[in-house]
Amino acid sequence: MDAETRKIPSHEVTYARLRDMILFGHLAPGAPVTIQGLITELDAGMTPVREAIRRLTAEGALLPQGNRRVAVPELSSELLEQVAFARLAIEPKLAELAAPKLTAAQIDKLEAIDAAVNRAIDAGKLPDYLAANHAFHFALYEVAEAPVLLDLARSLWLRAGPSLRAVIDRYGRDVAPDLHREALAAMRAGDAKALASAIERDIQQGIDHVRQALAEGH
């Protein structure tokens, strides 16, 4: 594992770390940060940081602000509806495709990740919640072995994930009722349709809260 880690180019490490900062609420939507500040925070050189910013800007996860600053874009109502449509089409399908391929060990791992989700909610640790929730979904989706759908799902989370930060800041643990438990029960039962339905309702719930927050001008 260490040997493999050492083979990862520095610009890929920098990209992954900046992507995770966006995904897991370390950068608030609409709050500009300087490129120099990111260089310091990421402990990386100018070139890999600029390359990471370029890639994440192309993916819609960052917006140039001028004066050597960038920001995570704030999600508009119009963009939310596009993201919602795409997520509800793609992610339940990934769950359905994963269902017959899941092993008991993989389900145990997903149960452990869900326990981490609940601990983070109880402790009020927002970045930990966002990271664990992301880990749960993608540990499931990766089992589907559907790379096109998986890449699309990753891109959609980059666009939508940061907006969960503001919503959870406002509504707290009520934002995340545990539909993961229903999903886990469907996995244990080998019920692909029930699993897809639980994931669909989990996504819809999150989207509804973001929609409500946008309507209230949060």
Per-residue confidence (pLDDT) for residue 4, from 0 to 100: 47
Mean local confidence (pLDDT), 1-18: 72
**Which residues belong to CATH 1.20.120.530 in the chain?**
77-215
| DSSP label of 75 | P
| One CATH from 1.20.120.530, 3.40.190.10, 3.40.50.1100, 3.30.360.10 for 77-215 | 1.20.120.530
What distance in Å separates the CA atoms of residue 54 and residue 47, rounded to the nearest whole number? 11
Q: What is the pLDDT of residue 172?
A: 57
pTM value > 0.75: yes
Fold exhibited by the domain 2-71:
Arc Repressor Mutant, subunit A (1.10.10)
Evaluate if residue 19 carries a pLDDT over 60: yes
When pLDDT is averaged across residues 7-18 and rounded to a whole number, the result is 85
- In angstroms, the first-to-last Cα distance of the chain is 43
CA distance 203 to 97: 17
* Cα-to-chain-centroid distance, residue 174: 18
Mean per-residue pLDDT for 38-46? 91
Contact in structure between 160 and 208 (CB atoms under 8 Å): no
Helix (H, G, I), strand (E, B) or coil at 196: helix
pLDDT tens readout for residues 113-157: 999 998 988 888 888 888 999 999 999 999 999 999 999 999 999
Q: Kindly state the tokens that stand for 165.
A: 């930060």
Question: Boundaries of CATH 1.10.10.10 in the chain?
Answer: 2-71
